[in-house]
Amino acid sequence: MINVLDFGSQYSHLIVRRIRELGVHAELVPHNTPLAQLKKSDGIILSGGPQNLSDKSALRVNRAIFNLGVPILGICYGLQLIAYELGGMVRASGKREYGPTDVTLTKTTGIFAGLAPAQKTWMSHGDQVVRLPKGFIQTAKSKNCLNVAIAHQSKAIYGIQFHPEVAHTTNGQKILRKFVSITKAKKSWSMKGFVKNSIEQIKKQVGLDQVICALSGGVDSAVAATLVHKAIGNNLTCLYVDTGLMRQGETTQIIKTFRDHKKIKLKVIKAENEFLKALAGVTDPEKKRKTIGELFIRIFEREARKIYPSPGLRLPSPARREGNNVTSTKWLVQGTLYTDAISSGVSIGKTAAVIKSHHNVGGLPKKLGFKLIEPLRELYKDEVRKVGKILGLPEEITQRQPFPGPGLAVRIIGAVTKEKLDLLRSADAIVREEIKNAKLPTIQQYFAVLPDIRSVGVQGDARTYGHPIIVRAIDTADYMTAHWSKIPYNVLEKISVRITNEVKGINRVAYDITSKPPGTVEWE
């Protein structure tokens, strides 16, 4: 077991993900986790975070952690904490470092063993260590930061200012692998083991109760539904709410996949008019997400009563008898992932900065009426795909592109209308078709965005004043960081020509060349 102490970094969960990639069990725990629990760890990692040690409200760590005899690695803010707590000095840097940074290793031992002195890394810091604590030495430096990495000369305590967990750090995984080897943690983590344990846990948790799944048709909900179905069979009913915010052909594909392929009970609810009415005039992206999430769950409650009629919100039938008591617990399955929780600021220590509310997290109403089953909450997207493969789902499902829970509503900037949805649906279908036909293997996600602006154009010798479409495509390994995709010009040209010719009302196409960070994958 390696415990990752969460200080609120957007990458905290990604550290866990990288350690598990090495076959070692890791968990994200609060920054103030009791020492008795941490002492049982094979290793401890202090995550980064948005804190500034000069602020009184900055999160701290119990100084006694450094006397536990457990190997420790501090990343970014974690490095600064090590230095600060052990008597070093941390100050604001004259020149901040954000993004790709060249680093020179001054000692190629410890976690840097076997690496060349010159390294490409990913930085994200404004403060830096300017004086080392007693017993520590410098092990790496950069042009603007003297102590990029430090190590204790006798204890297995290491600190690095850059982020080894992100793909932009060339040898980041090698550094984490070396730290794991220093901890001597045993390899005990696998997706097959996760599937087996999850099925057993769901059976124990649910018993004979009936369960409803919030099926969206995306990879996450599809795998979650299949996992729960594997555990409880026909006691699962999937409800698919056709919000009218889906991509072209989406509903037909969902019905075919789950009714025909997996033989799972599926009820389709047509609710486009309800969602369009609720979203009328709503332009703020957070309000959009929460409006959709609220209505989404209310529709579920309404449809649940139709399936298991009973007065009020309680659903006593079918029920499970435990001794002389009859339970009537309502269960709702959701495909919430680690990334959903961290993007919503719902980190373990509740210290992460809110980037956006996920519809399964920040958008939930307070009085849900259901108990949640979130079997994928510990996983990242690529791990979920592996679980789907183990469960026997076809590739068209496991390799399906991520699609936001609020659907096209968050790919329309500004107010959502039926007209805009139809425009975006048609343009998006062309983008997806042309990129798929071009067979560009490095691109993980691609879609169209409809901004809330118009531009002048010329079509058929006449002036037009239509909407533009923005094409977004990214290369990523984990969806926590991403590069914009270098789509060949001839493919972009074909997309542009087809959209402006075939989608009436669109007269311009632009291409988004922003990576994550500083941008996000989605626009809203």
Provide the pLDDT for residue 43: 97
CATH for 2-183, options being 3.40.50.970, 3.40.50.300, 3.30.2020.30, 3.40.50.880: 3.40.50.880
483 catalytic? Reply is no
pLDDT for the residue 228 = 95
Q: Which residues does 118 contact at the CB level (< 8 Å), separation at least 6?
A: 102, 103, 104, 105
Q: Does domain 411-511 have CATH number 3.30.43.10?
A: no
Quick one: tokens of 341? 């929780």
Q: Which of 76, 145, 213, 238 is catalytic?
A: 76
**Residue 470 dihedral angles phi and psi, to the nearest 5°:** -110, 130
Residue 14 in tokens: 């990604």
Annotated binding-site positions for ATP: 216-222
Report the CATH superfamily, name and number, of domain 191-398: HUPs (3.40.50.620)
Q: Where are the domains of the chain?
A: 2-183, 191-398, 411-511
Amino acid letter, 477: A
Q: Clarify whether 383 is annotated catalytic.
A: no
Q: Which of 97, 165, 378, 522 is catalytic?
A: 165
C-alpha neighbours within 13 Å on the C-beta side of residue 467:
22
Q: How far is residue 446's CA from residue 474's CA, in Å, rounded to a whole number?
A: 7
Annotated binding-site residues read 216-222
The whole-number pLDDT of residue 242 equals 92
Rounded to whole angstroms, the Cα distance separating 498 from 510 reads 13
| Count of residues in the chain | 524
Which is the catalytic residue, given 13, 31, 152, 163?
163
Q: Is 25 helix (H, G, I), strand (E, B) or coil?
A: coil
- Would you state the pLDDT for residue 291? 94
Domain 191-398 and domain 411-511 have a common topology: no
Told to judge if 502 belongs to the known catalytic residues of this protein, a careful annotator would answer no
User: Tens digit of pLDDT per residue, the chain (524 long)?
Assistant: 999 999 988 788 889 989 999 999 998 899 999 999 999 999 999 999 888 887 888 899 999 999 999 999 999 999 999 999 999 998 877 677 777 899 999 999 999 999 999 999 998 877 889 999 999 999 999 988 889 999 999 999 999 999 999 888 999 999 999 999 999 999 988 899 999 999 999 999 998 888 888 887 778 888 999 999 999 998 999 989 899 999 998 888 888 878 877 788 999 999 999 999 999 999 999 999 999 988 988 887 788 777 665 444 444 344 444 443 334 567 888 888 866 654 544 444 444 444 344 444 334 444 556 788 999 988 878 889 999 999 988 777 888 887 888 899 999 999 999 999 999 999 999 999 999 999 988 898 999 999 999 989 887 767 788 899 999 999 987 777 889 999 999 999 999 999 999 999 999 999 999 999 889 899 98
**What is the distance, to the nearest Å, from the Cα of residue 246 to the centroid of all Cα atoms in its chain?**
20
Whole-structure pTM value? 0.66
